């Protein structure tokens, strides 16, 4: 059963009287447990689509349903609350709070959810253990490498127990070894815990590990391939 449905979605930006169509008639479904990447050249609409899936922006036309809720109809506090409880985000810039420790950064989302401090501290440390940072609970972002910061961001995304995680170019600022380590962690979370990941990327390392690859060109779905072992099937 689909946890995300995208129905005839278009996104148009008005820039000084010039209309730019970022997305044109997108129809997609995503199921629980997917490890999917959205690819395409710069300007193809990858980040725009991720922002719409995450409720960070709204379509100009069309509908988006997440876990049975049409999020395009939500606004204000209802949309914020829905994102808080249903969607995890991993950004290429990490977006960690500099004055907070790794554990406190992971705890923050649970604090916003009203989770008691004793529980959120334990959950944060368990998640940091899962991403290989058992020895860096009390380190601030400035004391962590780029790869370690991105792993904290993954742990933070998991803290809200979301239906899925959206990752926008998560390996873009990482060296080769750090990127491989991060991908191994996310693969493990997907395989062992059925965590759903939807990536936007240019990184062929991410693409090679994806089970499904959606190609966007000029704001449209050019191809949609499901990969099972060496077999590739058009959706």
pLDDT(232) > 70 = no
pLDDT at 110: 94
Q: What is the pLDDT of residue 230?
A: 60
Interacting residues of 133 by C-beta distance below 8 A, sequence separation 6+? 102, 148, 151, 152, 155
How crowded is the C-beta side of 166, counted as CA atoms within 13 Å?
19
177/183 Cα distance (integer angstroms) = 10
Domains and CATH numbers, the chain: 2-234 (3.40.50.300)
pLDDT for position 118: 95
pLDDT in tens, 35-59: 999 999 988 999 999 999 999 999 9
Provide the whole-model pTM.
Answer: 0.90
Asked if residue 2 has pLDDT above 80, the reply is: yes
Q: What is the mean pLDDT of the chain?
A: 92
**Quick one: pLDDT at residue 69?**
95
196 close to 87: Cβ distance less than 8 angstroms: no
Burial-class residue 140 by CB neighbours within 10 Å (0-12, 13-18, 19+): middle
pLDDT category, 115, cuts 50, 70, 90? very high
Q: What is the pLDDT of residue 163?
A: 86
Tens digit of pLDDT for each residue in 69-94? 999 999 889 999 999 999 999 988 88
**How far apart, in whole angstroms, are the C-alpha atoms of residue 179 and residue 150?**
9
Instruction: Report, as an integer, the average pLDDT of 24-29.
Output: 96
pLDDT of 228 > 80? The answer is no
Predicted local confidence at residue 93, as pLDDT: 85
Q: Which residue has the higher pLDDT, 98 or 94?
A: 98
Q: Look at 39-43, 135-139, 184-188, 227-231 and tell me which has the smallest mean pLDDT.
A: 227-231
CB 213 within 8 A of CB 227: yes
For the chain, percent of residues with pLDDT exceeding 70: 98
- Cα gap 217→24, rounded to integer Å: 10
Q: Over 70: is that where the pLDDT of 201 sits?
A: yes
Reply yes or no on whether the pLDDT at 235 is more than 80.
no
In the predicted structure, residue 192 carries a pLDDT above the cut 90: no
Task: Report the pLDDT value the prediction gives residue 234, as an integer from 0 to 100.
Answer: 77
Percentage of residues in the chain having pLDDT higher than 90: 74
Q: Does position 216 have pLDDT exceeding 80, yes or no?
A: yes
Read off the pLDDT of each residue in 4-18 and give the average, rounded to a whole number: 89
Which of 201 and 14 is assigned the larger pLDDT?
Answer: 201
């Amino acid at each position: 059963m689909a946890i995300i449905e995208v129905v005839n979605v278009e996104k148009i930006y008005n820039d000084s009287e010039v209309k730019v169509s970022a997305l044109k008639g997108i129809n997609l479904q995503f199921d629980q447990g997917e490890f999917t990447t959205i690819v395409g050249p710069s300007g193809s609409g990858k980040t725009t689509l991720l922002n719409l899936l995450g409720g960070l922006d709204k379509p100009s036309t069309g509908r988006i349903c997440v876990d049975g809720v049409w999020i395009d109809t939500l606004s204000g506090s209802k949309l914020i609350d829905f994102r808080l409880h249903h969607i995890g985000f991993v950004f290429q810039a990490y977006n960690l709070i500099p004055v907070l420790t790794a554990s406190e950064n992971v705890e923050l989302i649970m604090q916003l959810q009203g989770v008691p401090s004793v529980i959120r501290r334990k959950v944060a440390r368990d998640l940091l253990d899962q991403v290989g940072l058992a020895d860096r609970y009390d380190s601030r972002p400035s004391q962590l490498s780029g790869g370690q910061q991105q792993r904290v961001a993954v742990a933070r995304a998991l803290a809200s127990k979301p239906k899925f995680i959206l990752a926008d170019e998560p390996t873009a600022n990482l060296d080769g070894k750090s990127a491989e380590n991060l991908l191994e962690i996310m693969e493990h979370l997907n395989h062992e815990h059925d965590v759903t990941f939807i990536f936007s990327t240019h990184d062929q390392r991410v693409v090679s590990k994806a089970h499904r690859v959606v190609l966007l060109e000029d704001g449209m779905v050019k191809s949609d391939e499901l990969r099972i072992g060496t077999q590739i099937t058009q959706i």
